[in-house]
Homo-oligomer: A and B are copies of this chain.
Amino acid sequence: MAFDPIAEAALLLRRDAQWAALASAGTDVDGIVSYWTDDAVVMPPGQPIVEGKAALRKFVSDSLSIPGFQVHWTSDLVRFSPDGHLAYMRSMNEFTVPGSDGSPQTLRGRAVTIWRREGDGQWRCAVDIWNGAPTSTT
């Protein structure tokens, strides 16, 4: 069966949107973690690199236990390897966390995620890195 990048991009963006919705809801740790590969690497700005399922589960669990924590993202611009087994996309994200005075602070960023189609045919995220968008000067 020929690989159809347009159909596959739509499928992958839907899957990413489901993941984002689950992360925003912030209750289902296992569900959130299931979107990463077992060997996935997450690189949060200014924090240690998080690598592998056990560390990712703790990372998600710790994040969700921060009072007022919220995460949202939307993705686009999916690109594939010619064989349709590796993909990457760009995202815009927002993290709400307590600021130094305790009031909620929203950090806006840009991410790149790299996805692998695994043996079961499912896409999972293998690399997840982001950094801060320029801060508004107004």
Q: Chain A: residues with CB nearer than 8 A to chain B?
A: 41, 43-49, 79-83, 85-86, 88, 90, 110-112, 114, 126-127, 129-135
Contact of A132 among B45, B111, B133, B134 (CB under 8 A): B45
Q: Does B112 contact A127, Cβ atoms closer than 8 Å? A: yes
In the complex, besides A45-B132, A48-B134, A131-B132, 15 extra interface pairs with C-beta distance below 8 angstroms are A43-B110, A44-B131, A46-B132, A47-B134, A49-B110, A80-B86, A81-B81, A81-B83, A82-B83, A83-B85, A86-B86, A88-B114, A112-B129, A129-B131, A131-B131
Residues of B within 8 A of A133 (CB): 46
Chain B residue with Cβ nearest A114: B88
The answer for the CA separation of A43 and B45 in the assembled complex, in Å, is: 13
Q: Does B88 contact A131, Cβ atoms closer than 8 Å? A: no
CB distance from A89 to the nearest CB of B (A): 10
Residues of B within 8 A of A81 (CB): 81-83, 85-86
List the 7 closest pairs (A to B, CB-CB), nearest first: A81-B81, A81-B86, A45-B131, A83-B83, A131-B131, A112-B129, A46-B132
